[in-house]
Each structure stands twice: as structure tokens, then as C-alpha cells.
Amino acid sequence: MILGLTGGIGSGKSTVSRLFQELGAIVFDADIIAKSLLSRESIKNEILRKIRGSSLNKITNELDRERLKEIVFKDREKLTILNGIIHPEVKVIYKELAERYSHVEEVIIFDVPLLFETKIDELCDKVIVVDIEEKTQLERVYERDKIDYKLIKDIISNQMSREERNRKADIILENNGSLENLRERVKKLYMEIKRGSI
Ligand code: ATP
């Protein structure tokens, strides 16, 4: 079974993925896939051509990722261009994975922050949304990234709303409590999926 996993910034997607992985699930993380795509020659060239200011590291011949991050962070239009280059390729990879893993026994997790926006949810049998109260979300992202609250709020307000995401979910996994509590619920969910009752 292929499960999509999504949620807002810092909601706990990576944590939930890791817990599923510990139980035996196979996880495909969109952030890792997107990062690896930045090394592909055709994509590198398209980024260099379309995003002014982007450059290669002269020693490694790889894109200067820090610089790229800074450029798109400051300029939404450039972020849209970058997403327009990367997202279709990410989707191609997930399509191939969906075909390859459609009939396996294992639980397959597609961990994709923009699952609905990229329509990768359509490749999944069910979608889990990790849901978190904004107050806890702000605290956890602040603890992890040490960026100020205003910036975190800006990021949250530029993402799909919590209500819309939850409306689209098949399963809502609330993550406001302790890690132990989350672990227990992920385990219960995993068992239900394995039994075929989900
Ligand atoms: P992003 O969208 O930024 O990639 P994410 O959704 O993958 O984030 P995580 O990185 O898993 O979120 O979690 C955000 C932070 O909150 C991490 O530092 C993580 O260790 C912590 N965290 C997650 N769940 C819990 C929990 N139940 N209790 C305490 N801390 C938690």
C-alpha cells in the first residue's frame, strides 16, 4: 500500500516517516529526491539559464545550493521558477515508484511536503496529514531552526491552510503531544494498515 504523508512546516513529517521506517515501512522523501535532482546536468543548466544569480561551485561543479536557497528565499517569483523546474521531475520519479511498488506487501510512504499542490496524492492509496496546533508548530520550528517567529509565521501563511489540508486527508495524525505518544499511534496505524483494516 502506498501512503502519502504530508503536513505543514515542522508538523512532524520526518519524525513520522522515521517511526514508520523503524516498523518496516519503506520511505521515499521528496526533499532528498529534489536535492538529488539538482545534480542532474539538464536541471543544473536550466536553473543556471532561468534563475539569475545562480552559479556553480567551481571545485565540485555542483550548483551552489546555499546561494540558490538565498535567491529564492528573497524572491517569490524565482521560487516559482525553481519549483516549475523541479516539481514535474519529482512527480515523474514518484510516478515510476508508484508503478514499481503498487503491488508489494510492504507499507510504502511518500513523504512529500507539497503532496496536494503537486498532485502526487493522486498516486497514493491513502493520505496521512500530520496536524499540529500553530502554537506548538511555532515552538518546534523555532527550537529546530532558530529563525524568528515572524519568519515562521510568514512561511506558514504561504503554505496551504491547515483546514484545507485536513479536509483533503484520509487520516489525520495529530502531533501536539509527546514523542512517545506519537510513536504509539504510528504503531497502531501501521498494524491496522498491515491487517488491511485501512
Ligand atoms: P519540515 O516541514 O520543516 O521538513 P517536518 O514536518 O519534517 O518539518 P520534523 O522535522 O519531523 O517536521 O519535526 C519538527 C521538529 O519537531 C523536529 O525538531 C522534531 O524533532 C520535533 N518533533 C516532532 N514531533 C515531536 C513530538 N511529538 N514531540 C516533540 N518534538 C517533536
Closest to 114 in 3D by CA, of 3, 190, 2, 7: 7
pLDDT in the model for residue 138: 97
Confirm or reject: Cβ of 15 under 6 Å from ligand 1.
Answer: yes
- What are the residues whose beta carbons fall under 8 Å from the beta carbon of 58, sequence distance 6 or more? none
> Does the beta carbon of 147 lie inside 6 Å of ligand 1?
no
- How many A from CA of 164 to the centre of ligand 1? 21
d(CA 156, CA 167) in angstroms, rounded, equals 17
Instruction: Please give the mean pLDDT across all residues of the chain.
Output: 97
Q: Find, among 143, 161, 174, the residue nearest to 8 by Cα.
A: 161
Which grid coordinates belong to 183?
A: 510513536
**Per-residue pLDDT tens over the stretch 48-58:** 999 999 999 99
Q: Is the CB of 12 under 6 A from ligand 1?
A: yes
Residue closest via CA to ligand 1's atom 18 equals: 144
10 lines ligand 1 (CB under 6 A): yes
Each residue of 66-109: pLDDT tens digit? Answer: 999 999 989 999 999 999 999 999 999 999 999 999 999 999 99
Percent of residues, the chain, with pLDDT higher than 70: 100
Please state the φ and ψ torsions of residue 129, each to the nearest 5 degrees.
-110, 125
**4 CB less than 6 Å from ligand 1?**
no
Give pTM, 2 decimals: 0.96
Confidence of residue 15 (pLDDT cuts 50, 70, 90): very high
21 lines ligand 1 (CB under 6 A): no
Residue of minimum CA distance from atom 14 in ligand 1: 10
CA distance 108 to 55: 36
